[in-house]
Amino acid sequence: MGRNYRIGARARWQPDLRLLFDDKRRILGGARPFSGVPFSSRRSVFFPAFGLIAPLKGRTTMKRQRLQLMRSLGFASVLLLPAPLFAQSAFSGSVTDSSGAVLPGVTVEASSSALIEGSRGAVTDGQGRYTIVQLRPGTYTLTFSLPGFTTVARESVVLPSDFTMTINAQLPVGALQESVTVSSQSPIVDVQSSQKTEVVNRALLDALPTPRNTQSFGYLAQGVRLSKPDVGGQQMMEQVNMRVHGASELHTTMQIDGMLFSPAFNDGAIQNYLNQAHFQEITFTTSSQLGEISAGGVRVNYIPRDGGNLFSGAMYFGTTEKGWQADNLTSALRAKGLTLPTGIEHIRDYNPSFGGPLIRNKLWFLASFRYMSVDEHVANSYLPDGSPAVVDQHINIPLVRLTGQVTPKNKISAFLDRPLKFKGHEFTYGIEPSRASRRRNPGEANYHNVGLKWTSTVTNRVLLEVGYSEVVERLHTGYQPDVFETTAGWPRPASIHLSDPVPAATNIDPWFTDVSHYDLLSLQRTVATTNYSGTLPDRRVPMVALSYVTGTHNFKAGWQWASGQDVNDLQSIGDIEQVNYRNGVPESVVVTLGPYRTQEYVRADMGIYAQDTWRLNRLTLNLGIRHEYFNSGIDVQYRPDNRWVAGRTYDRIDNLPNWHNWAPRLAFAVDVFGNGKTAVKGGVNKYMRPYAGSFAKQYNPLRAGGVSTDLRDWFDCALIPGISTCDPALVGTPGWRDGIVEDNEVGPSNNKLFGIGSSRRPADGIRRPYNMEETLSVQHQLLPGLGVTFGWFRRQHYDLLGQQNSAITDADWIPFQAANPLGNGELITIYNLNPLKRGLVDLLDYNSKTNTHISNDFEASFTARLPNGAAVFGGWTAMKNVENNCDQANPNGSSLADLYFSITYVYGGRYCDQTKLAIPYRSDFKIGGTYPLPRGFGFSANFISFAGNMSETVWNVPASVFPNGQRTQSTLVPLVAPGTRYLERWNQLDISGRRDFKRGRYTLTPQLDVYNAFNGAAIQTEVTTFGPDQGKPQTILNGRLMRLVAQLKW
């Protein structure tokens, strides 16, 4: 569209958003090293975790820059002499003599090849109890010895991660050298912990037909729901989020060996990419989090591999190629308008790893590299030539980990991984892929994870841990460079203004013409994407913990301090995010404040906690208290002149907010019969809402209070100044109906503070939202290796934000009635803002007494470890989630993300209180397992059945419905009540067959995986806007696909 035309002279200096703010920040004193410069354009790179600067000399290529980067990181790793992190697994129990009398002073030793030091020990206390904490998962031998008594050894005890295993012993009187060795199956009921924890080990991860997506493993844990299907790994390149028992992905905690690795991105809801070869086990804890954990949702703890005293390696090679996927486009889907289903071109996952001793029993290493590539099809997305469009994408993840025993009592560890992600054409349903898709280049991003930890066994009862973790997820995405000049789009012209009438024969710069076009009914985006933008969050977390362990008490206290930037930048072609059409007719334009760069920072996200596991005979109390201090703010900011508003400088804002909160954790577990086979567990726990930079973003004056756009009328005609009526004097003049947004065609603002100051503010004394969790469950071992659990889980959110517009009153909303367009005879009351109050915005956020979210879940599950090495697990969950969103500024309702499903619905208005509606219980079911067969063969399978998400029908009310056609605000109205319509169930069966070929130390395992074996085609998302495309599928379950796998281990 007019790419060869220009208006006016091109400015010699083109302001690039990535460099635009450097000089200004130095003037304002707000500079931070490399905070706005893309990775590929730096001449040196600063690594905060290492305190190093890696020079990038001269006009280096990206390849040479990466080489220099890896050399610097390797040098840093050698300097650190790192060592191991520890899973929070433990042995605990009591020791008696033959008469049942307790035995103080018994030496208990746990030995395993999983420990770099070989063994760890404890001594029973005055009540004959012992606890050995912070153990690596693995196979152990426990030895109980006391002079004058027979030494008893318990062999082949398999200790999973995040599990306190009760092992009791009885020592008969005996000779000095007499000993007894016992072998039996490991207990499966944790009678001391109130938490609901499930463990998936490396063998199970490799054997099951899993997608190998770090977040997707959550589907293995009972009660956990995924945000979207991940058939055979087709979601490896993007986020699959986990949620459980009324807590969305916002409340998920990601850990690597007990250290926090939840990013700051979207307050922690967006997770980083990880190298699967790094981990030997994954644990999922879904309730009753202890005081050391801030959030109350799913806690995922990845237990890393350390290398070991023997050189060993593994290679995973998995591929799905074009033509290996079945067509699941049914006649019913065709009838709904689907012509091209969701699908893949290929899925590839190559993951070698190698580790071993640098110094036996002193220093171990693990190195790995992972390559992932998923080229996928989007429903109904075609290139201009009619061929299916492809989202082309891949990630490379190198990893290095070192584990060392510095002294017999001191260990240190470190690891670094560095994901490099590329997306050639990033798009979803409705986006024209050749021009309107987005580009994501590795050179414009910096992802990395760093972990350091020192562990010191001060005495056999005191353990000190000091650690540091760093998660960086900085990325820029933007325009297609094969269509536009760069990913930043077209350069800004010397003059950024254009008005009707346009002088005849004017060559119009494409910066004005090539803006994104969007149709409100068909949901189609064409011409260009919306912007070039950067999301630049960092999170750095030093921590200290001190544990004091006796047989009766396991006390732990600690401190964590997270901080870092949560910065965004943005610029759009034409200073316009998009122009809106309604079935091809011009209706509105979304103007932006760009180019800008925000400066939000989390100065303190601190937790100080104390917790104790206190054993009182059969009763174990899990008591904890956590004090949380959260402080964020905004540094000095500058925004240059924009097409719509003048440039401004914004002062630093501190204490936005400044919160101190207490979060008690009270839980219990009862060993009902004293035999370690039946436990009743329960708890009442308080969790604060997780935050990073979002609170400060909501009130950032640079973005008019968290809003960087303004929706204004645009009818592709010059308007009478101050109103949204075409100027009859300019009808038909050059620029009229030309499809280009000229300055005088844009209607008045809906926010008179847009570009001036914040139109949103928090009430004085606003409190941090929180939620209360109540749990009660019974866990029982039916048979050796077979356990069942029945549980009830309730969660309610409090102090959620309500909102009112203090610049207007209720009387300024003028009601009128309109017929429900569904034709059911219903009259809907709609509210139109008084035209005299248009643009008056002073949004006040306060803690609502009515806004809430309540979940009520019931769960039944089982796990079985069979003698031949088979494992089966599964269960059923029934859940009910309701919300109240009545306290909001717009009486019609507004688009809000559901607090559990994180799906955007139109909440509020006439259906604001869902507690009064007939919201039904929805149930999920899952079962999986692996079974070894003779001659090295094996079979495994997973089956999941998830209830379909709630759907809705939303009316984007046209101006013609409003009295006299005078609509003062864009208005969305739900036409059916929540809980009325749901998408179909998502049923998916995945199966796998394999055979092991062993020769000496080498094991080769070819494997065939089949995903979605029934070739289901459940609709996952659909068009919900009332109109001709309503109900059209946007995404469906990927059709049946096959993956060939080869695994080599030695």
Say whether pLDDT at 323 is over 70: yes
> 962 in a domain, yes or no?
no
User: In whole angstroms, what is the distance from residue 669 CA to residue 777 CA?
Assistant: 9
Question: pLDDT at position 994, please?
Answer: 95
Query: Which amino acid type is present at position 1006?
Result: P
Same domain, residue pair 339 and 453: yes
Dihedral in degrees, nearest 10, Cα atoms 637, 643, 646, 652 = -10
Q: Are residues 348 and 447 in the same domain?
A: yes
The reply to whether 898 falls in a domain is no
Q: What is the pLDDT of residue 417?
A: 95
At 1019, is the pLDDT very low, low, confident or very high (cuts 50, 70, 90)?
A: very high
Mean pLDDT value across residues 68-96:
51
Contact 679, 191 (CB under 8 A): yes
The CA distances from residue 21 to 599, 640, 641, in Å, are 11, 9, 13
CB 663 within 8 Å of CB 683: no
C-alpha 370/C-alpha 276 separation (Å) is: 8
- 95 lies in the same domain as 43: no
pLDDT at 1015 over 50: yes
Say yes or no to pLDDT of 269 above 80: yes
**Average pLDDT for 625-635:** 97
Q: 125 pLDDT exceeds 90?
A: no
Domain presence at residue 954: no
Q: Are residues 47 and 98 in the same domain?
A: no
Answer yes or no: do 73 and 112 share one domain: no
pLDDT attached to residue 82: 31
The confidence band for 116, taking pLDDT boundaries of 50, 70 and 90, is confident
Residues 676 and 612 in one domain: yes
pLDDT of residue 179: 57
Rounded CA gap, 302 and 482, in Å? 40
Inter-residue contact 818 to 830 (CB < 8 Å): yes
Domain boundary among 133, 168, 183: 183
Q: Is the pLDDT of residue 66 over 70?
A: no
Cβ atoms 860, 879 nearer than 8 A: no
E strand or H helix at 977 = none
Among the listed residues 962, 975, 979, the one whose alpha carbon sits nearest the alpha carbon of residue 1026: 975
Tokens of 514: 């090539």
pLDDT band per the 50, 70, 90 thresholds, residue 703: confident
Question: pLDDT band for position 43 (50/70/90)?
Answer: very low
CATH of the domain at 160: 2.60.40.1120
Distances (CA, A) of 523 to 126, 237, 412, 506: 71, 24, 54, 32
Give the chain's domain count.
Answer: 3
Least confident of 168-182, 602-616, 858-872: 168-182
What is the reported pLDDT for 51? Answer: 33
Q: In the predicted model, is pLDDT for residue 121 greater than 80?
A: yes
Helix (H) or strand (E) holding 833: strand 827-833
- 8 pLDDT exceeds 70? no
Calculate the alpha carbon distances from 798 to 626, 849, 899, 1019 in Å.
Answer: 18, 8, 12, 34
Q: Which residue has the higher pLDDT, 77 or 1025?
A: 1025
- Tell me, what's the pLDDT at 79? 30
Pair (422, 504) in one structural domain: yes
What pLDDT is attached to residue 117? 78
Highest mean pLDDT among 76-80, 108-112, 659-663, 961-965: 659-663
> How confident is residue 558, by pLDDT bands cut at 50, 70 and 90?
very high
Helix ranges (H only) for 535-586 are: none
Residue 38 has pLDDT above 90, yes or no: no
**pTM of the predicted model, to two decimals?**
0.85
Give the DSSP H or E segment for 356. Answer: strand 343-359
- Residue 248, in any domain of the structure: no
* Distant-in-sequence, close-in-space partners of 102: CB < 8 Å, separation ≥ 6: 94, 95, 96, 124, 127, 128, 129
Claim to verify: residue 65 and residue 132 sit in the same structural domain: no
Confidence at 724, pLDDT banded by 50, 70, 90: confident
Which residues, other chains included, contact 151 with Cβ-Cβ below 8 Å and sequence gap of 6+? 143, 144, 145, 171, 174, 178, 179, 180
> Is pLDDT above 50 for 216?
yes
Whether 837 is in a domain gets the answer no
How much is the pLDDT for 149?
83
Is residue 780 domain-resident?
yes
For 471-519, write each residue's pLDDT tens digit.
999 999 999 999 999 999 999 999 999 998 887 767 899 999 999 999 9
Q: Which of 167, 183, 199 is the last residue of a domain?
A: 183
Whether residue 40 has pLDDT greater than 90: no
Asked whether residue 678 falls in the same domain as residue 790, the answer is yes
Count Cβ atoms below 10 Å from residue 584 Cβ, excluding itself.
8
- Tell me the helices (H) and strands (E) count for the chain, helix number first: 6, 63
At residue 376, φ and ψ (nearest 5 deg) are -130, 160
The alpha-carbon radius of gyration of the chain (Å, integer) is 30
If you average pLDDT over residues 733-738, what whole number do you get? 90
- Tell me which residue of 236, 235, 267, 254 sits closest to 298, measured CA to CA: 254
Confidence of residue 778 (pLDDT cuts 50, 70, 90): very high
Among 639-648, 702-711, 723-732, the minimum mean pLDDT is found in 702-711
b/e for 509-539, b at 16 or more Cβ within 10 A?
Answer: bbbbbbbbbbbbbbbbbebbbbbbbbbbbbb
Residue type, 124: T
Looking at the structure, tell me whether residues 73 and 93 fall in a common domain.
Answer: no
The reply to whether 977 falls in a domain is no
Is residue 967 in a domain? no
Residue 180 binned pLDDT confidence (cut-offs 50, 70, 90)? low
Give CA angle at 644 (637, 955), nearest 5°: 105
| For the chain, percent of residues with pLDDT exceeding 70 | 90
| Per-residue pLDDT tens digits for 233-252 | 998 888 788 999 999 999 99
Which residues pair with residue 121 across a beta bridge? 109
pLDDT tens column, 324-350: 999 999 999 999 999 999 999 999 999
Question: Please, are residues 117 and 408 in contact by the beta-carbon 8 Å criterion?
Answer: yes
CA distance 678 to 805: 55
Residue 493 belongs to what domain range? 313-806+842-884+917-948+983-1049
Residues 163 and 51 in one domain: no
DSSP of 30-52: ---TTSSS-GGG-SEEEETTTTE
Among the three residues 130, 165, 183, which one is the final residue of a domain in this structure? 183
Work out the average pLDDT over 883-892: 95
Q: Using an 8 Å Cβ cutoff, are 863 and 887 in contact?
A: no
Task: Say how many C-beta atoms besides its own lie within 10 A of residue 627's C-beta.
Answer: 15
Q: What is the pLDDT of residue 181?
A: 59
pLDDT digits 0-9 by tens, 370-429 = 999 999 999 999 999 999 999 999 999 999 999 999 998 899 999 999 999 999 999 999
State the DSSP string of 388-435.
BP-B-EEEEEEEEEEEEEEETTEEEEEEEE--EEEEEEE--TTB-TTT
Average pLDDT, the chain: 87
Residue 195 has pLDDT above 60, yes or no: yes
- What is the 3-class SS of 303-350, one letter each residue? EECCCCCCCEEEEEEEEECCCCECCCCCHHHHHCCCCCCCEEEEEEEE
Phi, psi angles (nearest 5°) of residue 335: -65, -25
Do residues 52 and 137 share a domain? no
List the CATH number of the domain containing 719. Answer: 2.40.170.20
Indicate the residue type of 216.
S
In which band, very low, low, confident or very high, does the pLDDT at 6 lie, cut at 50, 70 and 90?
very low
Task: Say how many Å lie between the first and final Cα of the chain, rounded.
Answer: 59
